[in-house]
Structure 1
Amino acid sequence: MKAEITLSILATSDIHGHIFPYLYGTGEYADHGLGKLAALIKKEREQSEALLLIDNGDLIQGTPLTYYYSRFLNNQKNPMIQILNMLEYDAAVIGNHEFNYGKSILARAVSESNFPWLAANILFSSTKETYYGLPYKIKTFANGLKTAVIGVTTQYIPNWEKKQHIENLAFESAVSSLKRWVPYVQEEEKPDLMIVSYHGGFERDLSTGEQTEEQTGENEAYRICTEVPGIDVLITGHQHRLIEGETINGVAVVQPGYNGRALAKVTVKFKKKHNDWLIDEKHSILISAKEISPDEEALQIADYYESKTQKWLDTVIGEIEGDMLIEDIFEARIKEHPLIEFINKVQMEAAGADISCTALFHEGAPGLSHQVTMREIVSNYIYPNSLSVLKVSGKDIKDALELSAAYFELKDDGEITVNPDFSFPKPQHYNYDMWEGIQYEIDVSRPKGERVIVLQYKGQPVMENAQYMVVMNNYRAAGGGGYTMFKDKPVVREILTDMSELLANYFLEKKIVTPSLNHNWRVVAGK
């Protein structure tokens, strides 16, 4: 028997339903997608002495293809799962976005998988047993090398997800869960290599250990490396970062970005000593999907679903007298834009509320042109959010506006720019809200927490102790994005139809929409 062996651990993460190498909004080519990663994986499998293949979560949600499948083709096999089965994945971790389309879609995906899904820290509330059964996976190779993979995910899911999608589930701290499971697996299984696949990211700087975000528990990867003994390799995700070649407290760490832009690879070399496999060397790299031709077998699996999706995307659903195109994404956040006013008005009409808030969710939002298609709707409103009407106080509204006002900061020359905290370590532009139904003014020259200098409702000052009905998406209503002032507030009503459908239905009913701007808010830099 050989005295040495090299193990290749391959990991994908945050693919978010991307298979094909193009952007759905524009059709432009993009160096991403599971199709490209499939080609890389097949090549690595041919060249590897021993291989372990893991998906680290946020797989089945994120594109018009996955949305169309979940709504109209869910009686057929999930295309994402079919591709992972074809590639012979060893395990997958449940990410936070796995819940977005509801329990039945997730349950079906799990049932169709030829591999186990891991979630050691997602428990049934009543029994505290692991959700879907498996906290870890053991793989033993022909030469006797034994590996263990424990799967955990961010505990922060209840702060984002619709309650009905996570009913009867409890989300434990990944650190707390691993402090139990790592020694258990070591004692019971005695693996030669301990791998943790964590759908979460780093709360501290990898080099200095300096805190980089509030300690909410959303990201605990640094704590995992420093507080849980016995881990050899930590696969991370959720933050959409590109991390390679890093070691923290002896743990090799890696994170492969998002949308299938890179494949993570951790190489571990073992030497045999007294019948035991001992780690001799380990390091992590990222293999870019750039200039890689997609795997035709993977594309063929998804072709039927994609063709149906593309036909649906090109359906014209209404017209705009003018347009709501976004020429400058920053300008659309600093000065009221007709698209934002339109989304807020649709929310208000659907919910029967006269105050609303929404965000411009991503940097690629194109706006709406003269002839509106489903492609434009889902390219602007990319999340499967529903709506909640909350009863909140005037103070809650003020606090929420102050949190949004922190999105801006001033350059030395007095020009307003974006606060880097909303761009790094993970882009969070979706956490800047713009409101309708109130009048307000933000002065960026003032200290954070004191920037809202005008706040009125129907021409009168918003009173701190008065109660107001506000419609917002379910992510924000649950306190997502740090908006804890909304968490656990009374829910007056819920509109469970996805926002993309509400927007589409509005055009289908009205036929023609006229853009409007009432200039109810503004952002300034001093008087």
Structure 2
Amino acid sequence: MKLKVIVGSLAFLLSASAMEAQEKVIDLKFVQTSDMHGNYFPYSFTLQKDWIGSMARVAAFVKKERQHYGENLVLMDNGDILQGQPSSYYYNYIDTVSTHVCADMMNYMGYNVGNMGNHDVETGHNVYDRWINECNFPVLGANIIRTSDGEPYLPPYTIMKRSGIKIAILGLITPAIPAWLSENLWHGLRFDDMEESARKWMKVIRDKERPDIVIGLFHAGQESMMIGGKYKENASLDVARNVPGFDIVMIGHDHIADCKKIANVKGDSVLIIDPANNAELVSNVTVKVKVKHGRVRDMEVKGELTDMNAFTPCPDFMAKFSPQFTALNEFVSKRIGYFTKTISSWEAYLGPSAFVDLIHELQLEISGAEISFTAPLSFDAKINKGDVRVGDMFNLYKYENMLYTMMLSGKEIKNYLEESYYWWTNQMKSPWDHLLWLNDNFSGHDDRSTFKNYSFNFDSAAGIIYTVDVTKPKGSKITIVSMANGKPFSMDKMYKVALNSYRGNGGGELLTKGAGLTAEDLTKRLVSSTDKDLRYYLMQYIDEKDTIVPKALHQWKFIPEEWTVPAAKRDGRLLFNRE
């Protein structure tokens, strides 16, 4: 009897052991950052105070998660990491000898893969090529193609194994870059359609690599649209739905946090996840893989967005990069001049402002143009009266745009402004309406959740006297009275116009949809471009003059004033708590 029990027990143990050998569960973790925009330290070098999000907080989160997942944690970045803060600018253009602080930090944190974003391309070949070469991991770009031979400029995808599970990650970027950036920044390259590229490389990945998990790392948002009549922008959802094979699609670019599942054309579930910007959130995806007889039999995918502001910046990270922090602080603290009054960007949404008109004056002076176009680039930025420092310039001018000079007719200038103010202002039906065109559920906390349209497209003009009738529909809002010097303005005359390179390449479509120019027209109309960004010239301008007396030029106004003046005060109180 005892013998039977022993034999039975051995049989059970052998059977259990065999089952264990045949079936096991593997837990994988995928962490995505995106649109960090130079927010490496938990400190704003622009505002010179402690700041939200940051790579330092991500480092603390990843360190904690690796204690559980070890090598089964895959850390990835989805682009727009090289632009937006003095920390990136300094290592892009000032200290070009040291290892780029971004590459240094990402290597230290053990990033496994990166992807290119449009603002990374905006830094120019010298910057992004250097950064890519310094990264100890692949930076992807399946639809970034060399024009010389038609081959990908960067690896289209990467393959990695974790606990025997084969993972493929395909990287794509929005192809609309030629509509925003001057060709000298991406010379020798083209940007192919995302969906066509995904179909091509999915076939290669499936046939050649035979992975267990396929992840899309797409620097593009969700709401697809055509830009410049030929570039499909924000096509991530289209790709996820129409190109079967993706298990997870990590997206970015649009700064809109989201986490959801959709069905592709075959009915398979695809997780879509976007951590917005500034490393305030990360995409936190857990994949539970069931393996039997050495093959994946089942997979459970769960995603969530994890708040990095709940984490204390990693002390080891901060200690490691303290020399870079010191160098950056010295850079932004350098005095360049003096302002006799405080200027604020919020005023620019409600009428002429000293904030925007300072940029107008600079653009006119540098270019020798007759007319200037520019928009407020920050929702609620301020430069205080007193000494002005390098860091303040990142508040005044947010992007690394060049200054273009172009030839436009009077009619094109009017139509350009019609498009701008259509996106900017509400068509008022009564004195109690909003002056500004606001989202239905506006927050008053930032431009993207407050305004119906992107505020970086709210261009005003200097050099001409004009009115904006907010009771009229698009096409009838703008009346140009004269040139600012009192001379007549003619719809048929060609004028020399100063504007930033983003706009001059078709960005925001004010020149294309508004003025009616084609992409080919834009190239022909270009007279000149600066070789350095506008912020550089702003710093030079202030440094040379030392004392700046900021003032609104008052060359345009909203009408009828009996409606618009009270409406501006109401909207100022509502959105900015000011009037």
Residue 207 of structure 1 corresponds to which residue in structure 2? none
Q: Deviations over 1:317-373 (max 9, x none)?
A: 1123x31421xx443222211121111111111111121111110113213523221
Identity of aligned residues (%): 29
Q: How far apart, in 1, do the equivalents of 2:465 and 2:152 lie?
A: 48
Q: How far apart, in 1, do the equivalents of 2:452 and 2:115 lie?
A: 20
Residue 325 of structure 1 corresponds to which residue in structure 2? 343
- Within the candidate set 169, 172, 190, 1:170 is matched to 190
Kindly state the Cα deviation for residue 189 of structure 1 after the two structures are TM-superposed. 0.3
Moved more, 254-263 or 360-369: 360-369
Kindly state the Cα deviation for residue 147 of structure 1 after the two structures are TM-superposed. 0.6
Residue 351 of structure 2 corresponds to which residue in structure 1? 335
1:467 to 2:494 alignment:
yes
Q: Give the conservation status (yes or no) of the 8 Å contact 1:317–1:504.
A: yes
Q: Give the conservation status (yes or no) of the 8 Å contact 1:442–1:523.
A: yes
Aligned CA RMSD, in angstroms, stands at 2.3
Q: How far apart, in 1, do the equivalents of 2:276 and 2:547 lie?
A: 40
Residue 372 of structure 1 corresponds to which residue in structure 2? 388
1:517 to 2:517 alignment:
no
Gaps of 5+ in 1: 205-210
1:399 to 2:415 alignment:
yes
- Indicate the SS of the match to 2:76: strand
Residue 80 of structure 2 corresponds to which residue in structure 1? 58
Q: Deviations over 1:301-322 (max 9, x none)?
A: 43222212212212221123x3
Q: How far apart, in 2, do the equivalents of 1:330 and 1:445 lie?
A: 22
Residue 508 of structure 1 corresponds to which residue in structure 2? 543
Q: How far apart, in 1, do the equivalents of 2:151 and 2:250 lie?
A: 24
Point out the structure with max Rg over C-alpha: 2
Moved more, 284-293 or 243-252: 243-252
Q: Give the conservation status (yes or no) of the 8 Å contact 1:13–1:57.
A: yes
Kindly state the Cα deviation for residue 248 of structure 1 after the two structures are TM-superposed. 4.3
1:360 to 2:360 alignment:
no
Residue 493 of structure 1 corresponds to which residue in structure 2? 528
Equivalent residues in 2 for 1:69-108, closer than 5 Å: 69-108=91-130
Residue 276 of structure 2 corresponds to which residue in structure 1? 257
Residue 312 of structure 2 corresponds to which residue in structure 1? 293
Q: Give the conservation status (yes or no) of the 8 Å contact 1:392–1:467.
A: yes
Q: How far apart, in 2, do the equivalents of 1:176 and 1:301 lie?
A: 43
Q: How far apart, in 2, do the equivalents of 1:316 and 1:31 lie?
A: 26
Q: Residues 360 and 265 from structure 1, CA distance in 2 versus in 1: closer, same or farther, beyond 3 angstroms?
A: same
Q: How far apart, in 1, do the equivalents of 2:43 and 2:497 lie?
A: 37
Residue 386 of structure 1 corresponds to which residue in structure 2? 402
Q: Which amino acid aligns with 2:460?
A: M
Residue 168 of structure 2 corresponds to which residue in structure 1? 148
Q: Which amino acid aligns with 1:338?
A: A
Q: Deviations over 1:135-186 (max 9, x none)?
A: 00001123x2101000000101111223211011100111110011111100
Q: How far apart, in 2, do the equivalents of 1:156 and 1:519 lie?
A: 35
1:478 to 2:497 alignment:
no
Kindly state the Cα deviation for residue 212 of structure 1 after the two structures are TM-superposed. 12
Kindly state the Cα deviation for residue 455 of structure 1 after the two structures are TM-superposed. 5.0
- Within the candidate set 403, 410, 431, 2:457 is matched to 431
Q: Give the conservation status (yes or no) of the 8 Å contact 1:268–1:279.
A: no
Q: Residues 40 and 433 from structure 1, CA distance in 2 versus in 1: closer, same or farther, beyond 3 angstroms?
A: same
Kindly state the Cα deviation for residue 261 of structure 1 after the two structures are TM-superposed. 0.4
- Indicate the SS of the match to 2:56: helix
1:414 to 2:436 alignment:
no
Q: Residues 217 and 269 from structure 1, CA distance in 2 versus in 1: closer, same or farther, beyond 3 angstroms?
A: same
Kindly state the Cα deviation for residue 24 of structure 1 after the two structures are TM-superposed. 2.7
Equivalent residues in 2 for 1:221-300, closer than 5 Å: 221-249=236-264, 250-300=269-319
- Indicate the SS of the match to 1:395: helix
- Within the candidate set 57, 61, 69, 1:48 is matched to 69
Kindly state the Cα deviation for residue 525 of structure 1 after the two structures are TM-superposed. 5.1
Residue 446 of structure 1 corresponds to which residue in structure 2? 472
Q: How far apart, in 1, do the equivalents of 2:334 and 2:292 lie?
A: 65
Moved more, 43-52 or 424-433: 424-433
Q: How far apart, in 1, do the equivalents of 2:85 and 2:481 lie?
A: 37
Kindly state the Cα deviation for residue 28 of structure 1 after the two structures are TM-superposed. 3.4
Q: Which amino acid aligns with 2:303?
A: S
Q: Which amino acid aligns with 1:164?
A: N
Gaps of 5+ in 2: 1-20, 441-446, 563-579
**Between structures 1 and 2, the one with greater helix share:** 2
Q: Give the conservation status (yes or no) of the 8 Å contact 1:239–1:426.
A: no
Moved more, 369-378 or 403-412: 403-412
Q: How far apart, in 1, do the equivalents of 2:538 and 2:219 lie?
A: 31
Moved more, 18-27 or 310-319: 18-27
Residue 208 of structure 1 corresponds to which residue in structure 2? none
Q: How far apart, in 1, do the equivalents of 2:52 and 2:448 lie?
A: 21
Q: Which amino acid aligns with 1:423?
A: R
Q: Give the conservation status (yes or no) of the 8 Å contact 2:470–2:559.
A: yes
Moved more, 71-80 or 25-34: 25-34
Q: Residues 339 and 308 from structure 1, CA distance in 2 versus in 1: closer, same or farther, beyond 3 angstroms?
A: same
Kindly state the Cα deviation for residue 461 of structure 1 after the two structures are TM-superposed. 5.9
Q: Residues 22 and 248 from structure 1, CA distance in 2 versus in 1: closer, same or farther, beyond 3 angstroms?
A: farther
- Indicate the SS of the match to 1:140: strand
Q: Which amino acid aligns with 2:341?
A: D
Q: How far apart, in 2, do the equivalents of 1:187 and 1:513 lie?
A: 64
- Within the candidate set 121, 128, 135, 2:143 is matched to 121
- Indicate the SS of the match to 1:356: strand
Q: Residues 226 and 450 from structure 1, CA distance in 2 versus in 1: closer, same or farther, beyond 3 angstroms?
A: farther
Q: Give the conservation status (yes or no) of the 8 Å contact 1:203–1:212.
A: no
Q: Deviations over 1:52-90 (max 9, x none)?
A: 211111112211111112222111101111111112111
Residue 304 of structure 1 corresponds to which residue in structure 2? 323
Q: Give the conservation status (yes or no) of the 8 Å contact 2:346–2:380.
A: no
Moved more, 244-253 or 108-117: 244-253
Q: Give the conservation status (yes or no) of the 8 Å contact 2:226–2:232.
A: no
Q: Give the conservation status (yes or no) of the 8 Å contact 1:444–1:526.
A: no
Q: Residues 188 and 324 from structure 1, CA distance in 2 versus in 1: closer, same or farther, beyond 3 angstroms?
A: same
Q: Deviations over 1:368-412 (max 9, x none)?
A: 523221121122212111101011122321222112112111577
Length, aligned pairs only? 516
